[in-house]
Structure formats: structure tokens, C-alpha cells
Structure 1
Amino acid sequence: MSVSIPVSDPPPVVRRRRRGDADELIPIRTDRRELLLRIAIVVVAAAPAMAATLSVIGIHWVPGGDQAIEVLRISDVGGSHTPLVGPWSRWGWAHPGPALFWLVAPTQHLFGNDGVLLACGLLSTASAAGIAAVAIRRGGTVLGAITALGVVGFLGGMGLSTAVDPWNPYVALLPFLLFVLLVWSVVCDDLVMAPVAAVVGSFCVQAHVGFLPLVGGLSALAFVAVAVRHLRAHRAAPEGGTRSDTGSGGLLAAVRRHRLLSTFLATVVAGGLMWLAPLWDQLFGSGNLSALLSYARSPESDTAGWSKAFGIMSGQLRLPAPWMGANEASAAGLTLTAGWAWGVGAVLLLVVAAVVAVRRRHVDVAILDGIAVVAIGLAVLSTARMTGFVAPYMTQWWWIVSFVALLALVWTVVSLLDLADARALAVGALGVAVVVGGFVVVRDVPVDPPVPTLSRALSELVGPTAAALDRDHRYVVHTVDERNWGGAGPGLQLALEQLGYHVFVGPTDLTDIQYGARRVLEPAAGDGVITIVGLDSMGNGWVPPDGVRELARYDPLSPAERREFDESQASMHERMSAALGSEAPEGVLSMDSLHHAMLARASGVSQAEIDRMKELQAPGSGFAVFLSPPA
């Protein structure tokens, strides 16, 4: 005799979406096509960054400039001089923490300079994948596909070479976008994301202090939102659920308390571990956090102010936005401003979108709109507090704020049209993302390393220079390199140190922060001074002192082209001095600079002459390396 036992269907897999004051459980498709679509979204979002990463394998990069200084500090990780603070700042302090150095160090130790590019590329790839994954977690495949399209567009706007660049204003951009979406998840009561947000946000702040107001403000928003929600839940629970451990009310309350406490502890531990090194430096080292706080309280120059901050806000929120590839630099190289209408209009749109979303009971959507508004406010505050000139590289986080604002508005429209679960829309957006990502990869890959012309010059100079040095001697590296902002010197110092030579830099107010105290030496205490000079500077009047010996020379121009360049530069200087007087630029002219080109035209220099100067400067700078006795 057989007995038939009824078997119920398994419970559906669901995701939670806020609808009004309650959670609405939305069934999730679990069929194979849905899973493949989710995987495809993550892969498409990350593919351009991964393509850039793979293209730098074996590139044999010789860093210069700030990147070379960063690699010097990265190479210290794991030894007795392991850095406890971040990259240097021109204001006399370091960025808050060494997370960037520590993260990149393993691949740098294994693969040399190329390993730095590899690690940064992998960070960009992981961030892009994480952004898409969190978007899917919050809004399913439709939001995931829309976000993936935005990410590949963002990568195209900034250029894939930026995805592998270790320069700290760039390296935290995609992680910061991931952080914003993680905060959105936490505010929507997805508490498991809180420890991840603590780690990612800490990385961004340690890499560049400009992220501090945004990360700190959004973290505070998440904390307050979670606290308010759980206080309301506690007060709304039936009396038996708050005082009794028997019964469903008490059990649910206990589970809720345990979940909140465990999340809080995990977040504190994760964030605390990220800040151990900066705190150790504060207590027993350089006291960098105190220096940062002191500067914030008493800046050494005037701040940008609210008017400029609102102008920059509008310049960043306009369409097409700078993150889409639109120009954001003025002729003087400063961040462009725009009329307040763009910025105020964007904020009002977000506020209206949030109100409508709440009335339609799309609470998650309204939360994203609100986060975008808060992020804009924090970005304005951060911009207003900036000191000195405000250049685009100093306000790169505005790209992410602008991206989030547009994403929030698009997602609001999609949700209000009840298209949030439309698979056809997800597939369509993903198809467009594939096309855009493919175009970006074809255009940019293989990517150039940071400052490729300087890298090429250094690779030609290092060998002959090293061959003329004594490994038992100590040398101080001096730089005369106006066109590259002194970038050739750190590059030569790094390359020689990696070959085992004892090379140092002369003391200034910043060298301890830049290079670490162990690399600083008075020239008189060494056995010689290595001076690397840009040939542009030599053509502009720099003369080697007596007693020096030339060790190496590299020039991307032919002798005839070099003479033409020197004569053209001298002629332009003469005409600009006559026309502009004290306003005429001094030093090496660079026609890549919109400011120099504008002043040249105002002084009667023809556009044909300017274009020819650009052609001569396009291959990059030439250099000569000299060795002189100790000063």
C-alpha cells in the first residue's frame, strides 16, 4: 500500500524593497536566464577596466612625478620604514592613511613597477563589478544594467588609462561610487553592507582627504537612518514583544537587536582596523592627523568660498557632465564654473523626485534621491573649504556626485513607470552597455602608462646615468624640470634606488612627507649631486655650473627641431614680455596650456606658430643628466 505525501513548493526567493513604512518582498527570478543576465551585467561593467589591466602586463613602466614618489613609499611597505600615512600634500601634511600603499605593495613587490599598475587596475575592476552587484542587489537586473551602462560610460569619460593610474586623486573614484551605493543599501536596512562600506569609505579618505566630508557625512546619514528605524521598530513593537522572551514578538525583537548589535560591532572592527596605522602615527609618529586638523581650522590661504563652490556644483551637474568627457578646465587650468541654474535645477529635480517616489510608496528610490541631495550638499561644503587654486584634479569626487544624481533621477523615472522589473529593459540597457564598453576598449586599449612621454625619457636616461655612478657613494638628486612640474627627478631617483644605488633628495619643508625621512640628505653630506635638467629649461637660459660632468642626454627632437624650438620659445618670450610686461609668463612655455596659448595670441603670436610649438612639444621633454661635486 502506497501513501501519497503532499509536497509543497519551496518558498520563493525574494528581495526586500521598502514600500511605505513596511518591507515589501519582491519575488526574484531564479531561472538560469536570470542568473546569466546578472552575471553578464557584472562582467560588462567590469570588462573595460579588466581590459586596461591586462594591457599593462609587461609594459615596463618607469614612473615619474607624483607616481614615482608613491612607488617609493609603496616599496617601503613591509620593512622598518613602512608608511603609516598617505600620499603627500603641498600644504605640508600627508593624506590620512597608507591604505593605498599597503593595498598595492604585494603586486609591486612581486612584479615591480608594472605591479602597481596591475593592482590599481584590479582595484578598478573589482570596484566596477561591486558597483554593478550592489545595484542588482538593490534594484534587480534593470537597475544593474542601467548602472553598468553608466559605469562603462564613466570609464570612457575619464579614459581607461586612469583606471590603472595610482595617482591618489584618481585611484579612489570608483571605490567612492561603490561606497555611495553601499550607504544606500545600509540606509535601506541592508545592514550586512555596513562593514564593507566602512572599509571602502576608509580607503577613499586615506587615499585623498578631499573625500572626508563626503564619506563622513554619508556615514553619519547611514548611522542616523539605521538608529531611527530601529528605535521606531522598538517603539512600535507590541508590549509583549518588548518585555517577553517567549512569543513571536519577543523573538523578533531579540533577533532585531542581535542583528543590529552584530552589524555595529563588525562595522566598528572593520573601520577600526583600517585606521590603526594612522592612529599609531598620531600617537607615536609624525602626528599627521593633528597637522590635518590644524590646517582645517586655520588654512594658510583663502578658501574658495560659497559662490565658487555653487558655480563648480553647476559646472559638474550640467549635461553633458565632465564625467561624460565634457571639458571642465578653464584657460588658466582651473575648474570651470557655470550659472547656478544647472545646480539648483538638479537639486530641485531630485527633491521633487524624492517626494513623488514617497507618495508612490517607492521608499528605496526616494532614499537614493535623498542621498544624492545630501552628497551634493557635502560636495559644495568640501569645495567651499578648499584653499588656494581649485583645479579639476582636486575636485574629481564631483564626478561621482554628478553620476549618482543622474542615476537617481533615471531610476526614479523607471520605478514610477513600473519598469523596475522589466527584463526587456534590462537586456536593452545591457546591450547598449556592451556597445559603449566595446567602443571604449577599442579606443583606449592598450592603455598608456601615466605620463608616457616622461616614462619613455627616463627609460633612456637611467642606464647611462647608472653606469657612471659608484655604488658605494651617496648622491643627492636635484631637478630643473619646469614643464613636468619637477617630475623627472623623483623618477630618476626611484629608478636608481631600484638598481641599488644610494640616492637621496635635498631637504625642504616637504621632503620628509614626500619621500620619508630616510631618503633626505644635505647635498654637502653626499659624494655628489645628480642634476636632471629639462632641455626646454636649458634652451630658456639655464646654464650648467662649472665643474659638472654630463652623464646622459635624451631628446625626442632632432637637432634641427631643438634649435627651432629654442628660437621659437625665445621669440615668443620677447613678444609676450613686450606686450604684457609683468603679466608675461616666465620660464618654459607650454602650448598645451590654454593659459599660455591665450597669452601668446594676445601678444601677437600667430596660431600657426602656436600649433607648431605644440607639435614640437608633443613627443615630450628632453633631458640632460649632470654630476657635480657635493655643494
Structure 2
Amino acid sequence: MTATGRTEGLATEQGGRATLLAAVLRHGPLVAVAIPAVAALGTALTTDWLPAGDVALEALRTADVGTARTPLVGAYSRFGWSHPGPLLFWLGSPFHQLLGPRGLLVEAVLVNLASALVAVTAARRVGGRAAAWLVAGATLAAVGAVGAPALLEIWNPFVAMLPLLAFLLSVAAAADGHRPSLVAAAATGTFAVQCHVGSAPVVLAALVGAGAWALHRRRTEAALPAGPAATDAGRRWWVWGAVAAVVLVLAWSGPLVEQVANDPGNLREMATFALDGEEAPAPLSDAVGVAARELGVPPAWLVGRETVEELPIVAAGAPWTLGVVAAALAVAATWALRRGDGPAARLVLLAAWLWLVSLVALTRNVGLYIPYLVRWTWPVGILVAVALALTGWRALAPTLGRRSAAASRAAALVAVVVVLAASAGLAVRSLGDRAEPDRPQGEAVRTLADAIDRTVPEGAYAYRWADPHDLGSVPVGVAVELERRGYDLVLPPERSLLFGEERVGPGDGLPRLVVVAERAGAVGPPAPGAEEVTTADALSPAERARLDEVEARIRRDADLPADRPVVVDSIVTARDLEAAGASEADTRAALDLQREGDAYRVWLVPPGAG
């Protein structure tokens, strides 16, 4: 081979490597967020999972779509109203009809996948490939911090997290001139707010911030000569704006119809609670501690310190870390403005604005600070981290480039490898045992529902329960599962917000099906003439024996009355028992075992019995 041929071959090889690297840098972020979602989708399609508690109620309302019971509002709130809209139920209906309960998990994966792809795409529009990689990495970190069930989690406060992140980045991209992002922002913002109203302050603040961003951009462009291209772009804005408006009208049609049809209506009840609620906000000191935990250093989305069992939040962050974040935002904004880096400056300013609004919103929290109530802060924290990291990269990149192009490429390659490794690791976790959310409670639902199905014929029953653990999530899940199997159940009137007015009533003239958990403390029949029809235990005999031993020690060490059930359903109740003398090893063992479910007795009470 001649020297010329060798040179051409080397050039071709180098060109091929450059093309491959360019493809990886361009499409890698999308692939990185898609890999774990595809793995989670495989789990969702093959599982025999059953929901319990609030998620079972979501399954019930999803099954109602397309019937006379089609939901027009969202999931219930403990404050006596429902969250704004039913989009979660409407979108999940086809999957539930085709696949049953696991269709909810499929919906969760697809919502999270679509949101992650939208977020990465919008980030690239705002800050280039570096922003796309940063958003992909932060998304994987947040999902990984929650654990394997994160992409499968359909509970309304949790499934709204990635759509809210996608909204924040989409509205920024729209403000920066990317017209299709208007539609993405309309869809994702609506979904987040309808799932959980806690997202509303951030969504409204983002719209204000994006409006200021767009106004500044238009004023800057107005100083430039206009031509035919500008006129054509204006027409396209109207087209995409009209599509976004159609999305909004369709998505909000249910809540608006409900508001007009009812007095006072759900939206009005929410507004009344927000403006004239009788409950006072939590103490400011608590708010600052929670704000530092969620939005300080390190942020909760990165270290995954929140669990459902931690009810309420008991480990506040250090308030001084909020000052660190504020200073970092100020420095980043100042640098970007002085360097004339418009995209970085606008992104940092938007992140700073949303961070401040989030701090204020946290001070307005009513009642306890429960992890799910503040999950909406995670997308804000991610946006802050991305804005700061992007500004830092833009500040360092020219220096790295001048010193060594190889060093710059090496830094980028390391970042790519880290993100892709995190993606692969999360995919493996999504395929592991018990990757589904609340799997133990779902197994308890199946055990109890199967026992009832074997001994109680299908028909109409007044369904009642007594279970102090986790707000009765297993009996609630059993009610939903029995209805799915063909039972006609009349639920307690005081549960109308959970099950809907059409499913509740006194049940006069019907036999009563009563589910009683062992920890409820009731040892005899619930009424004269009641017949015990079946029993079921979610624990194995060995697990039950171990739990009995642990509970006996807790009762002895904490000096509990003999007739008081030992209930350990959260970190808080565990610590209360530890303060009374129980050992931490015993309370945590009880927490883990009780989470698996309880022993239940099922009674059939004849019509008219007391």
C-alpha cells in the first residue's frame, strides 16, 4: 500500500470514529434514559402484581373510564377534596382494559419514559448536548435514588415527578423559541398538576418565568432586521399555539364539566381550602429544615433519603446549605450575564426563580411534612443542579479546549460512560425481584382475596373492615380486587371520597362481609350471628413466629398494655416505641415484617344483625 493509500485509510478510520462519537454524543442521552424504562416495561408486562391502598383506588377509578362512573376529577386528598383532574385515569384506561392491574404499571413506565425523552430533548434545545447529558444523568440519579420501583410507580404524587421536570424544560425551550415545546409543556404541565396539586405553584411560577424569558428574547430579536422568515415563523407559532390550546381544552374538559355540574365543585373546594383553610401552616423552623433537606446540599433527589415509611419527615437538612445554593446561583447568573451567555443566564435565572418560589411554597404546607407532599421539589432541584453544572461547563470548556483538545474529549467521555453505566445499573435493578411498588401489600391482597373467593360466593355485600396498619391499605385493595372479580360491594358512606358516591351506602338488607386484621385487637365476632368464613395470613409460619417474638419483646420493653396491638407502620411509630424502651433492632424488624401484611379473619354477618 502506498503512503497516500495509508493516509487516506487513516483519515477514513478517524472520520468513522468521529462520526460514531458524534452519534453517541447526540443520541446517547435519549438511549440512556430509555434503557431502564425498557427493562421496567418488561417487568410491568410480565408481573402478576396487584395494587393496594391508594393505588388500588386509582385502579378502581381507571376501570370506571368509559362507563357511567367516568371520573371527572383526580385522586382523593386527605383534606376532603380531590386533586384537579382525571388525566391519570383516562390515559391508563386502555392499558387497564387490556392488561388488568398491571396495565397501571405499563402506564407508569410509558409516562416516565415519554417525560424523560421530552426533558432530554428540551434540554438540548435550551443548552445543547451538554445540557441533554446533564438532564439524562440527573434523571437517572433521581430515579436510582428512589429505587427499583421508581419507573413503575403509578401513585399520583410520584408519577408526576418526571412529567413536572419535562414541563420545566419544555416551557424553557418554548420561551427560547422552540415552537413544538409549547405542546409538550401543555401536556406535561397539565398531567403534573392534575396528578397532584402540589405541583401547581411551580407550574404557575414557571409560566411567569418563561414569559419573562420569551419577552426578553423577543425584544432582543426585534432589534434585528425582519424578513420573510420571521413572518413565516410567526405563523408557525400560531399553529403550535393552537395545538397546545386544543390539548389544554381536552385535558381540562373533565374538571370544568364537574365544576359546572356540581355546587360548589371540586375546583372551588380546592380554592377555598387554599385561600380560607382553617388549618395553619407548619412552623417556619420546620419549613426551613425541610427546604434544606429537599433543595439544599445534598438535595433529596440525589441521595434518596425519602421513604414512604418515614412519615412524617423527621431528619431536617442544614439551613446553611440553602445559602450555599443561593450563592452558587448568584455567581452563575453573574458570570453568564457578564459573558453575554444568554441561554445559560436565562436558564440560571429561571432555576433561581423557581427555587425561591419553592422555598415560599414549602412554608405554606399544612399539617405534617410527608415525603410525598414535597416530591414536587425534586424537579426544581434537578433544574437548579443542571443550570449550575451547565454554567460551570461553559466556563471551563474554553480553558480545557485551549490546553488540550484531548483533555476536553476525555472529560466528555468520562461523563458519557458514567451516565450510561448508571442507565445499565438501573435497568438491572428494574428487572430484579420485587421491583414493583408495594409488592408485599399486593401479595397480601392476593392472599386474602383468594381466600374470600374460595369460600364466599359472588353476590352483593356490604363490605366493612378494621385494620390499623397503613390506613387499611390491604382491605381497600381487597375490595377493589373483589369488584374486579365480579362481587358487588357497598362500601361505608364515610369512604365516599375514596370510592365515589355511587359505591357507598349503609348496605341495609345485605349480608356484611367484614375483614378484621389481627392488629385491630378484635378477637370475637363483629356482630351476633356472624360466621367466620375464612382466615388468611400474609406471612409464612416462620415469619409469623418471628414477628410474634419481636412484638412480645417490644410489648415487654416498652411496657405496653396486654390488649394494645403493637403497630409499627412508620419510622415515627418505631421511634416512639424506642423512646418507650423498645430496641431499635426489634422495631425495625417489626416494621419490615408488618409491611408484608397481617393475619386477617373474614366474617359474614347476616342481614339485619347488629
What is the TM-score when the length of structure 1 is the normalising length?
A: 0.85
Deviates more, 1:403-412 or 1:324-333: 324-333
Q: Deviations over 1:397-441 (max 9, x none)?
A: 112221211111111100112369965544321211122222233
Q: Deviations over 1:423-481 (max 9, x none)?
A: 5544321211122222233344235322211211221222331243343x421221212
1:481 correspondence with 2:467: yes
The answer for the alignment partner of 1:202 in structure 2 is 190
Deviation for aligned residue 1:300: 3.2
The answer for the alignment partner of 2:365 in structure 1 is 386
Alpha-carbon distance in 1 for matches of 2:583, 2:253: 58
Equivalent residue of 2:493, what SS?
Answer: coil
The answer for the alignment partner of 2:346 in structure 1 is 367
Structure 1 residues not aligned, in runs of 5+:
1-28, 239-248, 579-583
Equivalent residue of 2:470, what SS?
Answer: coil
Deviation for aligned residue 1:178: 1.0
Letter in 1 for 2:174: V
The answer for the alignment partner of 1:102 in structure 2 is 90
Please point out which of 522, 529, 534 is paired with 2:506: 522
Letter in 2 for 1:279: L
Alpha-carbon distance in 2 for matches of 1:256, 1:106: 37
Deviation for aligned residue 1:594: 2.7
Q: Deviations over 1:267-306 (max 9, x none)?
A: 3332222211111111124611111111111123111254
1:236-315 alignment runs, 5 A limit: 236=223, 249=226, 251=228, 254-255=231-232, 257-285=234-262, 287-304=265-282, 306-315=284-293
Change (3 A) 1:424 1:139: farther
CA contact 2:61–2:89 (8 Å) conserved in 1: yes
Change (3 A) 1:56 1:586: farther
1:513 correspondence with 2:497: yes
1:421-500 alignment runs, 5 A limit: 424-446=410-432, 447-471=434-458, 473-500=459-486
CA contact 2:158–2:375 (8 Å) conserved in 1: yes
Deviates more, 1:70-79 or 1:123-132: 123-132
Deviation for aligned residue 1:168: 0.4
Letter in 1 for 2:467: D
1:93-242 alignment runs, 5 A limit: 93-230=81-218, 233-234=221-222, 236=223
Equivalent residue of 2:489, what SS?
Answer: strand
CA contact 2:568–2:574 (8 Å) conserved in 1: yes
Letter in 1 for 2:469: R
CA contact 1:172–1:204 (8 Å) conserved in 2: yes
Q: Deviations over 1:289-324 (max 9, x none)?
A: 111111111123111254433322211233333222
Deviation for aligned residue 1:598: 2.5
The answer for the alignment partner of 1:552 in structure 2 is 534
Alpha-carbon distance in 2 for matches of 1:324, 1:154: 6
Change (3 A) 1:626 1:448: farther
Alpha-carbon distance in 1 for matches of 2:517, 2:83: 30
Alpha-carbon distance in 1 for matches of 2:353, 2:524: 52
Structure 2 residues not aligned, in runs of 5+:
1-16, 402-407
Letter in 1 for 2:508: A
Equivalent residue of 1:531, what SS?
Answer: strand
Alpha-carbon distance in 2 for matches of 1:314, 1:565: 37
CA contact 1:328–1:335 (8 Å) conserved in 2: no
Equivalent residue of 1:213, what SS?
Answer: helix
Q: Deviations over 1:578-623 (max 9, x none)?
A: 7xxxxx9996434463333323333333445446545653643222
The answer for the alignment partner of 2:50 in structure 1 is 62
Deviation for aligned residue 1:574: 6.3
Q: Deviations over 1:122-151 (max 9, x none)?
A: 111222222222223333333322322222
1:479-628 alignment runs, 5 A limit: 479-508=465-494, 511-525=495-509, 527-538=510-521, 544-557=526-539, 562=544, 565-566=547-548, 569=551, 572-573=554-555, 576=558, 588-591=565-568, 593-607=570-584, 609-610=586-587, 613-614=590-591, 616-617=593-594, 619-628=596-605
Alpha-carbon distance in 1 for matches of 2:506, 2:361: 38
What is the TM-score when the length of structure 2 is the normalising length?
A: 0.88
Alpha-carbon distance in 2 for matches of 1:350, 1:45: 27
Letter in 2 for 1:162: A
Alpha-carbon distance in 1 for matches of 2:556, 2:444: 29
Equivalent residue of 2:397, what SS?
Answer: coil
CA contact 1:373–1:405 (8 Å) conserved in 2: yes
Count of residues in Structure 1 that have an aligned counterpart in Structure 2:
582
Letter in 1 for 2:152: V
Alpha-carbon distance in 1 for matches of 2:288, 2:563: 33
Letter in 2 for 1:555: D
CA contact 2:538–2:597 (8 Å) conserved in 1: yes
1:327 correspondence with 2:287: no
Deviates more, 1:220-229 or 1:256-265: 256-265
CA contact 2:142–2:304 (8 Å) conserved in 1: no
Letter in 2 for 1:513: L
CA contact 1:182–1:194 (8 Å) conserved in 2: yes
Alpha-carbon distance in 1 for matches of 2:427, 2:229: 50
The answer for the alignment partner of 1:50 in structure 2 is 38
Alpha-carbon distance in 2 for matches of 1:542, 1:225: 67
The answer for the alignment partner of 1:357 in structure 2 is 336
Letter in 2 for 1:439: G
Alpha-carbon distance in 1 for matches of 2:109, 2:177: 31
% identical equivalent positions: 30
Alpha-carbon distance in 2 for matches of 1:139, 1:364: 6
